[in-house]
Amino acid sequence: MYAGKPKILVVAGDPSGDLHASRLIAAIRSQSPEARVLAAGGPRMRAAGAEMVAALDGLGVMGFAEVVSKLPQFASLMRHMKHLLQREQPQLVIAVDFPGFNLRLCKEAKRVGCRVMYYIAPQAWAWGRGRLKLMASVIDRLVVVFPFEVGFFRGAGIHTEFVGHPLLESVEVNDERAAVRARLGIDPESRLVALLPGSRLQEVRRLLPPMLQAASILRERWNVEAAIAAADSIPVEEIERAVRAGSRSGGPKAAGSGGRTGGLPGVPRVFRGVTSELLGVADAAVVASGSATLEAAIVGTPMVVVYRVSPLSWAIAKRIVSIDTIGLVNIVAGKKVVSEYLQDAVDPVRISEELRQLVFDERTRSEMCAELARVREALGEPGASRRAASIALGMVGT
């Protein structure tokens, strides 16, 4: 048992980590109001009431080669965090995802005598199995969000607990489709495809243009509308730039203006902060590989998954990734239940044809929806943040 207020440092480095860390912080403060929570992360962690010690906005990158441009920032941040650990001496460091940085931080935390909890594990089962020895040496408790991870990490000698997936707490599923469409200003009779281009700038720049091209084909050939679910981390001008480029090149010509951030007529509308609601009223979705695919699965929206990084990163990934699928939905399912269009295979024509089948072919839709329901069930029950907070506070003796 520690005397006085427990002091906990939470570190997360990308938009999804910021979201999950913020919910964990809120749960810690709810269960232990006297706890002092320091945080290095994003705006949601600040809003949850943490004392911010570093802002990690903009450090989340996708791909191996892309990390190189951020190395000076990572080095500066690590120096800052080392000094912070020595000065503050928190009883517990909670690393949330962000493994390239956080595993190094965990090593430093152990060196100065802090206990370490890792929440949302590095995907060592896909790549980086060489990290398992380091993880076992620097992590006191690994808290995972996928059930299959328990056996994998325990087999490496890491104390591991499954708490369920935190998206089950934040994804809202509303069966009142007509009411939600009315609130969003979407035609109740239209066929709609949601475009989710990701939460990182590189993702949006590489994936939104082909998504918009696929949307254009859907609109022109089959009268299917499209709407963009934009992450809060992406500047409005980035979305508008891609939409303008698509419009000039004969891109999407979706009608309507409600919810659109731009003032251009005849383009897909852009929504922020209502991703799960938009998915809930969409007939299908095209989704950047990542946690958003699980969000679509939880809502039950048929989808295709797309992924594209730099050629160098792709060449590296093919050498070190040890699984034959990258979509989290397929990984959780243990089989390929949604199609993945990767790198050069991100073809708007093929994507539009598959989306057409998901929208109009009832058998195809129902089969995928049944598989997605099984994925949702495998993610556990809501309450991951509360359970993770209880583990954290147990580690500091409260």
Question: What pLDDT sits at residue 352?
Answer: 98
What are the respective helix, strand and coil percentages of the chain, to the nearest 5? Answer: 50, 15, 35
Question: Helix, strand or coil for residue 354?
Answer: helix
Q: Which long-range contacts (CB under 8 A, 24 or more apart) does 356-364 make?
A: 356/218, 356/221, 356/222, 356/224, 358/283, 358/284, 358/302, 358/303, 358/304, 359/191, 359/193, 359/218, 359/222, 359/224, 359/283, 359/284, 360/191, 360/222, 364/302
Question: How far is the first Cα of the chain from the last one, in angstroms, to the nearest whole number?
Answer: 7
Its CATH class, for the domain covering 7-166+383-395, is alpha beta
As given in the structure block, the two tokens for residue 194 are 């949601």
Name the stretches of the chain with pLDDT < 70. 1-4, 57-71, 128, 174-175, 246-266, 322
Beta carbons within 8 Å of 317's beta carbon, 6+ residues apart: 63, 64, 127, 309
Domain extents for the chain?
Answer: 7-166+383-395, 177-378
Q: Are the C-beta atoms of residues 143 and 161 closer than 8 Å to each other?
A: yes
Question: What pLDDT sits at residue 265?
Answer: 41
Question: What pLDDT sits at residue 259?
Answer: 45
Angstrom distance (rounded) from CA 359 to CA 283: 6
Residue 209 has, within 13 A of its CA and on its CB side, a CA count of 10
CATH topology classification for 177-378: Rossmann fold (3.40.50)
Question: What pLDDT sits at residue 39?
Answer: 97
As given in the structure block, the two tokens for residue 396 are 């500091």
pTM for the model: 0.86
Residue 5 DSSP one-character state: S
Do 177-378 and 7-166+383-395 have the same topology in CATH? yes
Q: Where are the alpha helices (DSSP H) in 282-345?
A: 291-299, 311-320, 328-333
pLDDT tens per residue, range 167-220: 999 887 766 888 999 999 999 999 999 999 998 888 999 999 999 999 999 999
Question: What pLDDT sits at residue 161?
Answer: 98
Q: Are the C-beta atoms of residues 158 and 135 closer than 8 Å to each other?
A: yes
Question: What pLDDT sits at residue 256?
Answer: 33
Question: What pLDDT sits at residue 257?
Answer: 32
**E strands along 211-297, which residues?**
224-230, 269-272, 284-288
Angstrom distance (rounded) from CA 28 to CA 32: 6
Question: What pLDDT sits at residue 102?
Answer: 95
Helix (H) or strand (E) holding 341: strand 340-342
Question: Helix, strand or coil for residue 332?
Answer: helix
